[in-house]
Structure 1
Amino acid sequence: MLKRLAITIAAFTALTAAGHAQESYALKFQSSDNSGTAAFEVQNAWADHLREMSDGRIDVEMLPAGSIVEYNETLDAVGAGILGGQITDSSYFTGKDPAFALIGNPVGAYSSPEELRAFFDRGGGSELYNEILEPYGVHFVGAAAQTAEAIPSKVPIDSVEDLKGVKMRAPEGMVQSAFAAAGASPVNLPQSEVFTALDKGVISAADATTLATNDSMGLHDVAKNPIWPGFHSLPLNEVSINKRTWDGMSEADRKTFTDSVTWYADELAKRIKARDQEVADKLAQREDVTVHSWSEEEKKKFRQIAQDQWAEYAGRSESAQKVYDKLTAFLKSEGKL
């Protein structure tokens, strides 16, 4: 009787496990990127890739910014199950906890997507971020990033010293305060007014977006001394999912999902970098444009200045302090501070 009972239990367990492993998921993910952007194209390619990897069982529908909720409301929507997940700039949630500012876009910390991902992959960033996200009912799957933002400039800027007195566009918050601490004179302008402000000499430089996007906006026709590669702003592009959904997945499905996010991060960095390089090669052929690339020494100087701003945010919450401690320890171990 015991033998038959054991066989019955084993058979039931196997059937349950098999059924669990074959469970299907139809998930709506909202992006912070608009439809038609290069990033959103890669996100749709990721959804296709994940569908293929899972034999169609994990079906993600990518939605552009604002489709269901506002760009800064996706965290609550994912936690509540209104959305299945999100691909977004984590710093949009700074109003909930300053920790999101530090983990989402610590100004000056990274110069490449690879540097950012290193913090999350081997610097303890992923574990810490999940500790922060757990109360919101959200699970962080993995980190991605586009290239660092370039700086279109009308004047040559090759060092921290050259920033002194330069009137430049920079958004409010950590970016603006970091440039002010470096000696620049930042002003707050919407992205839509950057071209006109540069053209009319209202500003001499701008914290804008990637080199390729700046070029598509015509900024290099009026600001002919761009700084590239960028060094100041490289936001985390997080992929996260409703925690209940994640907890209900089999180990095999979790691995498939995680592997697909690694593919997305690689593909995003590759495609955006290729577009930037294409524009950089084009600009190199123009006699009226000079691309300025900062040395590692100057990047480190700016990072040291920005660290004071990180410390200011760290003092605002317990979670922010944890991010500051973890991030600065990692950057020091990498020789970045």
Structure 2
Amino acid sequence: MDFFSDNTAPVHPAIWQALAAADAVDHAYDGDALSQSLDARFSALFEHEVTVVWSSTGTSANALALSLLCPPYGGILCHEEAHIVLDECGAIEHATGGARLLTCPGNGAKLDVDILRARIAKLGKGVHHTRPFAVSLTNVTEYGRVYRADEVAAIGAFCRDQGLKLHMDGARFANALVRLNARPADLTWRAGVDALSFGFTKNGAMNAEALILFDPAKADEARRRRKRAGHLLSKGRYMAAQLHAMLEGDLWLANARAANAAGAVLAQAAGDRLIHPVDANMLFVRFSDEEAARLRAQGFGFHPAGPGAARLVASWHQSEADVAPFAAAIAAL
């Protein structure tokens, strides 16, 4: 049983059906009917006029978003263990033309206003020093923690006061939303978010992400930057088809609930082995090397997360019954 990442989960059958239906001849690039109808569909979801720019990877969505919010000579405040810092191979710096990532500490990979204020205080004000232009949050964070709407709103208000833009890396946005039983608007534009990298690949899609811009005036620049970066796919209707299929019947929410529920079963079995509170479908657990080897020998796969620790990620296709054998093996250690 595989708990390496929700990236390894299969594609949902509804996505395969949508891809097959998109075989019908239509316009190329993003001129097809499916792509052209995304803005209206996501505007209804977010209760706000938005621009949707599809992309095939979360990294490209993050890089494109931050290139719109920060100039080459600016800085982006983010957690020191954020995905954009550790796992995107300098994509943000490349896409922005040289902007610096101004990293910050924070328990559970979470930021707050005090952390951001302290980091800004360390920056010089003169021409010799990097001026921050944006803040990037990850929800769910790299340690499986969730930002509540009031926490995002506090950071959003701080950003407005400081003249900063706010980006949210929402690779697991659906998992955060169902955990909080919140509306999409509550965790985004109502809380001051300017751009959201809305992840679908981890949640059942094949290779589709949506950059949501809450300022439609950014639409033309975003689409030109996507083309210049080589991410405007000639058969874009297959990207759009996946996004529509994920929204149909709230499939994206059902999948996230299933993943979170499976994660909760594992968290209960782990008990006091948990390193961080479990808010969604990702948990960090203390295993000795010998214990980890015993679990792997039984067929359970997971990533190490430092000495004596492991990261477990449940996926949309794993029911509570599916993960019960792993839970039992953990409890039996």
Fold match by TM threshold 0.5: no
Return the TM-score normalized by structure 1.
Answer: 0.30
Of Structure 1 and Structure 2, the greater strand share is in 2
Of Structure 1 and Structure 2, the greater helix share is in 1
From the CA coordinates, give the structure whose radius of gyration is larger: 1
Return the TM-score normalized by structure 2.
Answer: 0.30
